Amino acid sequence: MEYRNPGEATHHSKGFITNVDGLSGVELVGSTVLPASDSAAAGLTVRAKGTGTLQLGDSSNTIRIGGSTSGFGGMNRGTSTMTLVELPASGLVYSTVTVPGLGVNDMLYLARPESTLVSTAIGMVGYSCTAANEAKVAWLNNLASTASILTDTPIKWNYIKA
């Protein structure tokens, strides 16, 4: 290989193993990072220091897990506030919630608000992304009378980028 780092770089012609006096370490072989251990089933943890951010690749990279052939473009989680929804008796109504960064083909999960904010007779029966940064939520009112969902109701969300 012609590539060399300038300055005081260390060059090894084979793999490099750390923490050989410990129970486990890390092995660097080419462009692969592996757990180094006497165990046949050693795990590998990669994390940031303190409150730092762990980033794999950049916005132009696709992350693949295991032998997957489909790309993993990242994920996010957060909480958004949903607007007031009036639900007719025994009716189905759609509401909109803003989910920053969400795209139409992304996998979305919304958590139903607590029963103190939304009656247990009102069900969240489906949701999907219909436009960038927006999710539509289907609510079913199982009551024999009109019901409403409180204004400023927090909706927790998670999504995985397609």
Edge-to-edge strand ranges of the sheet holding 92-98: 92-98, 134-141, 122-131
pLDDT for 157 equals: 93
- Read off the pLDDT of each residue in 34-63 and give the average, rounded to a whole number: 80
Is the pLDDT at 29 greater than 60? The verdict is yes
Cα 18 to chain centroid distance, Å, stands at 31
**Model confidence band, residue 1 (pLDDT cutoffs 50, 70, 90):** very low
Percentage of the chain exceeding pLDDT 70: 81
Q: What is the pTM of this model?
A: 0.59
First-to-last alpha carbon distance for the chain, in angstroms, is 36
Structural domains present in the chain = 1-46 (no CATH), 75-160 (2.70.40)
